[in-house]
Amino acid sequence: DDPYYRLWQPFTDKNEVVSTQTSVSSSDFWNKPPEKAFSKAIAAGVGKKLEIQWPSGSLQSTRYYVSLYFQDNRAASANSWRVFSVAVNGKTFYNNLNVSTGGVTIYSAEWPLSGPTKITLTPDAKSSAGPLINAGEVYQILPFGRRTLAKDVAVMEELARNLDNPPLDWVGDPCLPQENSWTGVSCSIKDTVARVISLDLTNAGISGTLPLTIDNLSTLHHLWLGGNKFSGSIPEMNSLLKLETLYVL
């Protein structure tokens, strides 16, 4: 039910989860979040600060589009309000946010993130309700003008699907931005096209199988997968004419 084909995933932690008593209309938001994203929220009590470690994984050091969603889960009242400030990794994201039953979103088109991310909601001293948050989006910003060869991207995406526990940053473009390529992946760039030239997941504690399509990484020089728990057979690699080293045990 998402018009932009975004993938929304549930998230819970040690904080209280509350249900919403009123519905929202996605058409009231410019970025049209699905209504279901507002059905529940993570909340704190009156006068208490709410801290959330989200996203749960560690992020590459670059800039991101970040959008956060809030809705007062109580029945509308003229004499009660929910006001708090939002900080991301200790830096003010939005001050004195007044959250209504109609819902509100705040966002940054380019917000620097690196490693673990902590969202802190600090209530206003006069707020009659504690802070809460319903949903969030975070997307890595990639520069236009360069791309990884589609064939290499397809192979790396299939490999990621074949792994039971791939590295957390194995999403998006495996090579670009070059300084933030996937963990264990090295690439070369000629003109505007990037190619995968090395894959080193030695002792990464991963398991799974190798796809037959790994033979399509025709510019691969080094393939190091030792010290993990791969199963199945080793695919044919007759097309890897530039392969110099191979370590899979």
Structural contact between residues 46 and 69, judged by C-beta atoms closer than 8 angstroms: no
Which pLDDT score, from 0 to 100, does residue 175 have? 94
Same-domain check for residues 131 and 192: no
Same-domain check for residues 135 and 210: no
Mean of pLDDT values over 21-25: 86
What three-state secondary structure class fits 94? strand
Return the minimum-mean-pLDDT range out of 5-14, 69-78, 204-213, 224-233.
Answer: 69-78
Q: With 80 as the cut, is the pLDDT of residue 180 above it?
A: yes
C-alpha dihedral, 186 to 190 to 191 to 192, nearest 10°: -30
CA angle 181, 227, 172 (to 5 degrees): 20
Give the C-alpha separation, 132 to 39, whole Å.
12
pLDDT band at 150 (very low <50, low <70, confident <90, very high): very high
Is residue 100 included in any domain, yes or no?
A: yes
Taking the alpha carbons at both ends of the chain, their separation in whole angstroms is 44
Same-domain check for residues 156 and 239: yes
Q: Select from 6, 2, 228, 11 the least CA-distant residue to 135.
A: 11
Which pLDDT score, from 0 to 100, does residue 171 have? 87
Which pLDDT score, from 0 to 100, does residue 143 have? 67
For the chain, what is the mean pLDDT? Answer: 92
Provide the domain limits for residue 99.
16-140
CATH number of the domain bearing residue 40: 2.60.120
Same-domain check for residues 22 and 122: yes
Same-domain check for residues 98 and 172: no
Q: With 80 as the cut, is the pLDDT of residue 204 above it?
A: yes
Is the model more confident about 54 or about 77? 54
What pLDDT, in 10s, does the model give residues 120-147? 999 999 898 999 999 999 998 876 678 8
Is residue 2 included in any domain, yes or no?
A: no
Give the C-alpha separation, 41 to 124, whole Å.
19
CB-based contacts of 143, cutoff 8 Å, min separation 6: 176, 177
Which pLDDT score, from 0 to 100, does residue 5 have? 87
pLDDT band at 192 (very low <50, low <70, confident <90, very high): confident
Domain-terminating residue out of 108, 124, 140: 140
Is the model more confident about 112 or about 60? 112
Mean of pLDDT values over 40-45: 95
Structural contact between residues 32 and 69, judged by C-beta atoms closer than 8 angstroms: no
Same-domain check for residues 54 and 135: yes
Same-domain check for residues 166 and 116: no
Domain-terminating residue out of 140, 164, 199: 140
Same-domain check for residues 33 and 129: yes
Domain count, the chain: 2
pLDDT band at 74 (very low <50, low <70, confident <90, very high): confident
Which pLDDT score, from 0 to 100, does residue 168 have? 87
Mean of pLDDT values over 217-234: 94
Q: Report pTM.
A: 0.62
Same-domain check for residues 117 and 156: no
Percentage of the residues of the chain whose pLDDT score is greater than 70: 98
Same-domain check for residues 114 and 211: no
Same-domain check for residues 98 and 159: no
Q: Select from 170, 191, 190, 192 the least CA-distant residue to 181.
A: 170
Give the C-alpha separation, 148 to 104, whole Å.
37
Q: With 90 as the cut, is the pLDDT of residue 77 above it?
A: no
CB-based contacts of 39, cutoff 8 Å, min separation 6: 19, 20
**222 — phi, psi (to 5°)?**
-140, 135
CATH number of the domain bearing residue 240: 3.80.10.10
Structural contact between residues 48 and 123, judged by C-beta atoms closer than 8 angstroms: yes
In Å, what is the CA distance from 4 to each residue of 8, 20, 56, 89, 160? Answer: 11, 24, 23, 28, 23
Same-domain check for residues 125 and 222: no
C-alpha dihedral, 109 to 40 to 13 to 67, nearest 10°: 0
Is residue 7 included in any domain, yes or no?
A: no
